[in-house]
Structure formats: C-alpha cells, structure tokens
Amino acid sequence: MPYTAEISRSNPTSIIFLVDQSTSMSDPIGGEVPQQKADVVADAINRLLTELSVKCAKEEGVRDYFHVAVIGYGATVGSAFAGSLAGRDIVPLSEVADNPARVDERSKRVPDGAGGLVETTVNFPLWMDPVASGGTPMNRALRYAENLVAGWTERYPAGFPPIVINLTDGESTDGEPSAAAEAVTAHATADGAALLFNLHVSAAGGTPTAFPDTADGLPDSYARTLFAMSSPLPAHMRAYAASQGRRVSETTRGFVYNADITSVVQFLDIGTRATELR
C-alpha cells in the first residue's frame, strides 16, 4: 500500500508550503469580521507550525519527523521565512520550532468559567508575515517546489513522499500551471508519488467546497484547473478528513475552494496528517 511509510526521524518527510503573495491577496475574505486573505493564510501557516512543533514534541525536545519549507510567490519566488530562518528552504522541524521570527502577544477573549468572557493575551509565535504584492508566478513557484521535491526524494527514497501545499487566490500570471504541477507529482519515493494539495481562496464566489471528487460545481476554469492539479487524498488522510466530519470518497482530492478560516486550518491539518509518528 502506498502512503503507509512510517514517518520517523531517520525517515522524515517534508512539507512544502507555497504561499501566493500576489497583490490580490490583500482582498478581504470571511464572514462577520472580514480579514485580508494574506493575513488568513499567514496566520494559518504560523498556527500550523506551532501545531507541528507540539505534535512532534517529546521529552528531549522537538523531533525532526518533518522538515518544512515555506515558499512565497508574488513579486519574487523564494523562502517566506522571516527572522533567523530568512532565506532558508527546507528546515528541520526542531530548528523551525526554536526559531520563530518573533513571539507576538495576541489578545484573546476567553470564557472565565463563570459565564463571562475575559480579555487575556496569549503568546503566538510567528515565522512568516503576510505579504501581498506583485503577480502570481505559480509556474515558477511549482518549479521551485519541484526542485525541492526532487532533492528530497533522492535523499529519502523509501520515506513518506513530500507534501506540497499550494495556497492561492487563483489565476497564474505566468501561464497555465498544470504541466508544472504534473512535474511535481511525477517525483516519487518507494512509498508513493509526491502529493500536491491546493487551497483556492477565490473572489469568484460560488459554493465553498472541501475535498471534492469531481470538478462539477466549481465556478470557474481556475478552480477546475487547481482541482485537476490536486492529488487524491491518501487513505489515512481521507479517514482523518472523514473523522473531522468531511464527506469523502475514494477519489477525493486534496483541494479546498473558498474555505472559511477554520477550514483553512483544518485543511492544513488534514493535508499534513502523518500516517503515524513513531
């Protein structure tokens, strides 16, 4: 069975985020309190990096089950890490965990247990800042990712294959991205082909869709293209998505269209769900 390799420190896997940083990412999304798309995406990734750090924490510290890259694409294509990791591509998780750009104090309203709410602050580590400027060079970003994927599969030929997660608001400005996407998933380890998942945050409207198994009902050709580019979810991710209340089928793809904020986080959680961390 593919996608069943044990993820361990000697056989880690890599997670490569591709983050659309084009000008249009400054448009708002979301319900009651609209937020800029770029903010939502940066927040989700920062949260996820904390999540991964906690998930991989053992008594002696954070274990390198994962190595992580955050690649931005907009005015330029390259590492989106800020702070001491700036410029780095794939970084072992333990190093990521120890080196956020900064730790913000965020105010939060928490139930006080007596029916009311109190204002408190929580520490929120940040690795990347929201950016929104320039075009959407998705082809270049995918080729950048392909390069990282190729290097990784060569280094860990038997491990769980790399997971590439592309977060974008839509249309590529450097050409149709399908071929570049196929090139990413053409790389494989003994455990399976590299996975490419897409999160589409579009202004085109239409029904939000998570983990569909058909392009029917997607509002435009960009969404359909991104859907077609997305890998089917491996069995354990399907099972996890189902346990999170998502409807899934055998051919469910790692694609989410116009998800709300919670779904973005959930999408990342499902997309990075490891088979088993041992």
Partner 1 sequence: MGSPTGPQRQFPSGAAYAEALQHTQLCFQHPELKGARAELTRLGLPRAVSGAFASVFSLTSAASGQRYAVKCFTRHVPDQEQRYEAISSRLALLDPAGLSQPWKLGFEYLPDAVRVGKDLYPVLKMDWIKAVTLSAWLDAHHSDRPAVGRLADRFEALTRDLSAHGIAHGDLQHGNLLVASDGTFRLVDYDGMYVPALAGLGGTERGHRNYQSPLRGNDDFGAELDRFSAWVIFLSLKAIAVDPALWNRLHEPSGEFLLLTEEDFKSPAGSTGLRTLLAHADRAVSDLAEQVRSLAFQPLELLPPLDLAVPGPRTSATATPTPPPAGATAPGTGGLPGWMSGHLAEQPATTPATPVTAPPGGFHTRTALDVVVAVLWPLALIAALLLPVARIATALPGSLIPLALAATATAFARSRRTERVRSRAALDALTKQLAHVEDPAKAAAKLHKERTRFEAAEKHRQATYPRTQDELTAQYHAALRDAEQRRTRKLRDIAKKIDGLSEERRRALAKALADKQSAYIRNQLGRRSIAQSPPHGIGPKLVARLADDHGIRTAADFTGYRTVQNSSYNSTGAVLVLPGGRRADVRGIGEAKAAALVAWRQKVLAAAVARQPTTLSAAEQQPVEQNITHRRTQLTSRHTAVESETETARKQAKKRLEEAREHLARQNTAAETSARRKRQEFSRRTTEIQQNNTLHATLTTDVEAARSRQSELTYACYLRFLYRAS
Which residues are 102's β-sheet partners? 126
Using CB under 8 A as the binding rule, whether residue 272 contacts partner 1 is answered as no
Structural contact between residues 74 and 134, judged by C-beta atoms closer than 8 angstroms: yes
DSSP state letter for 114: S
**Pattern of binders to partner 1 over 181-220, x per CB under 8 A?**
-x--xx-xxxxxx--------------------xxx----
Tokens 């593919």 sit at which residue? 2
Using CB under 8 A as the binding rule, whether residue 59 contacts partner 1 is answered as yes
CB of 210 to partner 1, least distance (A): 13
Reading the block at residue 50, the tokens are 């904390």
**Pattern of binders to partner 1 over 90-129, x per CB under 8 A?**
-------xx-x--x------xxxx----x-x-xx-x----
Annotate 32-100 with DSSP letters as a single string: SS-EEHHHHHHHHHHHHHHHHHHHTEETTEE-TTEEEEEEEESSSEEE---GGGTT-SSEEHHHHHH--
Question: What does the chain come to in residues?
Answer: 278
d(CA 183, CA 138): 13
Reading the block at residue 84, the tokens are 């001491």
CB of 62 to partner 1, least distance (A): 9
Q: Using CB under 8 A, which of 1, 87, 205, 207 touches partner 1? A: 1
Choice between 137 and 161, CB closer to partner 1: 161
Strands 77-79 and 66-73: antiparallel
CB of 78 to partner 1, least distance (A): 25
Q: Using CB under 8 A, which of 28, 34, 54, 203 touches partner 1? A: 54
Q: Using CB under 8 A, which of 157, 175, 206, 208 touches partner 1? A: 157
DSSP state letter for 163: E
Choice between 75 and 101, CB closer to partner 1: 101
Q: Using CB under 8 A, which of 84, 147, 221, 251 touches partner 1? A: 251
CB of 189 to partner 1, least distance (A): 6
Residues in 159-178 that interact with partner 1 by CB under 8 A: none
Structural contact between residues 147 and 187, judged by C-beta atoms closer than 8 angstroms: no
Choice between 118 and 203, CB closer to partner 1: 118
DSSP-derived 3-state class of residue 168: strand
Q: How many Cα atoms are found within 13 Å in the side-chain-facing hemisphere of 13? A: 32
Which residues of this chain interact with partner 1, rule CB under 8 A?
1-2, 6, 8-10, 47, 50-51, 53-60, 63, 97-98, 100, 103, 110-113, 118, 120, 122-123, 125, 153, 157-158, 182, 185-186, 188-193, 214-216, 224, 227-228, 231-232, 243-245, 251, 262, 266, 269, 276-278
